[in-house]
Amino acid sequence: MIIRSEQLAKKISHEQPFLLDVRDEPASAEELGYLDNVHHIPLSDLASRWLELEHEREREGVVICRSGKQAAFFLKHQGFKRIFVLSGGCSLGENRRGQK
């Protein structure tokens, strides 16, 4: 399921989903704005490191990547309940700036 940054901003303030950045290089603070506790596991490592996220399995999750569909499919196959893919992959900072 695709989610836009505006929708994610609302979801974060109410539901606290876990965030997973699967890009090779993690997002900068400017891209993600104020967001803390973003898990960074490159897509190429996800198959060997997904157990690092097992404690998040029952929570909603949002994959951050230019094309996170592959990671979302993998996580769903591992039993994660609701995984979203952030449309556009990043740049949350502009939508959340000043809304700490």
CB contact at 8 A, 62 and 38 = no
Whole-number pLDDT of residue 1: 83
Closest to 61 (Cα-Cα) out of 33, 6, 98, 22 = 22
Spell out the domain ranges in the chain: 2-96
pTM here is 0.78
CATH 3.40.250.10 fits 2-96, yes or no: yes
Segment 40-59 shows an average pLDDT of 94
Q: What pLDDT digit, counting tens, does each position of 56-83 carry?
A: 999 999 998 876 789 999 999 999 989 9
Provide the token pair at 7. 């929708």
Residue 52 has pLDDT above 90, yes or no: yes
